[in-house]
A and B are shown apart, each in its own frame.
Chain A
Amino acid sequence: MTGKPGMTKQESRGLKQRRDAEHSIRPAVDIFENQAGIVLRADMPGVAREHLNMRVDHDTLSIEGEISISMPEGMEPIHADVRATHYRRSFLLSRELDSGRIDASLKDGVLTVRIPKLAEHQPRKIEIRTA
């Protein structure tokens, strides 16, 4: 826990939350569904694997990441499109998805998340027997 001295834990936490809300980037995503489940792709350039954090809490999938970029000493900004170093976005999952088998990969700053459907919700082909 970091916070200014003389602050209660709550105050310090409230400050941190406000700061995070103001300073996080909402990554652009593509989301589609196929027979196996849902696929989500998110642009998170500058995030290394060890600075990516994904979790499922009840039915909410949260994705967070920190940008790590090396910068020389004594640098002054000339232009800045990216003003924050934190990505954050969350999604509500639905009941037929199997949150225990989520698979994620990160490559060249693009995160791919696969959320499979529970086995009983996968479409099954119904065989029709000829009489």
Chain B
Amino acid sequence: MLGYLSGFDNDIFDQFERMRRQMDRLFGDWSGATGIRAMAAGSFPAINVGASPEQVDVYVFAPGIAPDSLDISLQQNLLSISGERKVELPENVQLYRRERFNGSFHRTITLPEDVDPDRVNASCRDGVLHITVQRREEVRPRRIEVS
């Protein structure tokens, strides 16, 4: 516990706090229009999408799923994610609650139109799949020099 008082740990903690607040601020107050392909709240997997001038970041909350069992495709600006989560329960047990999603899923999300399907990156950590798609150069705001 005292470790938190040392400079190093504090730094990591601050960094984490900053990150957490950033996400709270960004996604917590979001009240934008709902996409036409968006699914009802509580759908599996939950998805957050954020955009910056350079790229679009998609976060897929897919706990307990092996990344290589996911099927991800990007056609123009339509990102499609499908897969299956099998929640296996041992035999001869008494079951009290079964709330976790079990079965196959398919979700489609509309990304901004200027994404470049050839420049996609995906990584997985702690059950969150993070897909990054770069945006095309020509639409980025460009600074115009006055000579």
Q: Which residues of A contact B (CB under 8 A)?
A: 23, 28-34, 39, 41, 43-48, 51, 66-85, 107-110
> Whole-angstrom distance between the alpha carbons of A78 and B51 in the complex?
7
Instruction: Identify the closest chain B residue to A107 (Cβ).
Output: B64
* Count of chain B residues near A, Cβ 8 A: 57
Q: Which residues of B contact A (CB under 8 A)?
A: 16, 19-20, 22-24, 26-28, 30, 32, 35, 38, 41, 43, 45-57, 59, 61-66, 87, 89-90, 92-101, 109, 111-112, 124-128, 130
> Whole-angstrom distance between the alpha carbons of A70 and B19 in the complex?
7
Which residues of chain A are within 8 angstroms of B48 by Cβ–Cβ distance?
77, 79-82
B27, B47, B93, B109: which contacts A32 (Cβ < 8 A)?
A: B93
Which residues of chain B are within 8 angstroms of A74 by Cβ–Cβ distance?
52-53
Nearest CB in chain B: distance from A46 CB, A: 5
A69, A73, A110: which contacts B23 (Cβ < 8 A)?
A: A69
> Whole-angstrom distance between the alpha carbons of A66 and B17 in the complex?
10
Cross-chain contact B128 with A109 (CB below 8 angstroms): yes
Which residues of chain B are within 8 angstroms of A77 by Cβ–Cβ distance?
26-27, 30, 32, 48-50
